[in-house]
Amino acid sequence: MTLENKKVVLGITGGIAAYKCPEIVRRLKDLNCDVRVVMTSGAKEFITPLTLQAVSGNPVSDSLLDPAAEASMGHIELAKWADLVVIAPATADVIAKINAGMANDLLTTICLATDAPIAIAPAMNQQMYAAKTTQRNLRSLQEMGMKIWGPASGEQACGDIGKGRLLEPMQIVELIQAHFTPKSLNLNILITAGPTREAIDPVRYISNHSSGKMGFAIAQAAEQLGANVTLISGPVSLETPHNTKRLDVISASDMHEQAMAQAPSHDVFIACLLYTSPSPRD
């Protein structure tokens, strides 16, 4: 879907993942979305306002105390203008400030003054993300109705490996699209995906080449249309679609057991099967 006539405020905070933001803005502009960028002072240490102005086609806002902007109450104007506020990357510091209701810079003031939905895309060191304080803040924001997008897992700029990476630009764009997609599927959907492994002995097993991609794509599409999705997955290295309940299994009997247990509480069951093309002799 296009995002024509949709207005998004993208808040950028001081994290290395800020380098991904021009791509987010560019992809949104490709979908005809109107994007206004708000940067914290920390964000400007990683990427320049001029770069974001060039890709967005709009002036970048970065100061709560800008006399020219405040002549027209710029922070209130942006708060009222937005259909959606997305903070990406969202550092632990800004997450804590928003949770505390602080308004000591332009971005946190907009968050306090807007009645538009707010989406938080965390990005930080894996230990900072796992800290009890950060997790408490994120739970609190979620309870207030804010969306939490990510984070992803993997290698980080500091060399650590774990959960805390900013989602990729297209993942964030797809989540923005999903936010604006009419929710027409008020259903509970159960999906199976991926291969199974049948053990021969403690070392060897028989499996197949199923990637699970089709089942995961169906799960993502169903979730974006408003369905409550449960995904029963064999061993695959795929990111779980946002807001999808995932149940991991190994063997065919495990998958069958989970499918039979879950099916009665779902309206629709979709079984994704591996299909092998017949050989010319068949």
What amino acid occupies position 133?
T
Active site residue 158: yes
What amino acid occupies position 54?
A
Q: Which of 21, 33, 158, 272 is catalytic?
A: 158
**Dist. CA 166–CA 17, nearest whole Å:** 6
Query: Which two three-digit tokens encode residue 136?
Result: 């408490």
**Dist. CA 43–CA 16, nearest whole Å:** 8
Query: Which two three-digit tokens encode residue 247?
Result: 């149940």
- Quote the Cα angle for 122-87-3, to 5°: 120
Report, in this order, helix, strand and coil percent for the chain, each rounded to 5.
40, 20, 40
Q: What SS3 class is residue 252?
A: helix
Q: Residue 122: phi, psi to the nearest 5?
A: -65, 150
Which residues are known to be catalytic? 158
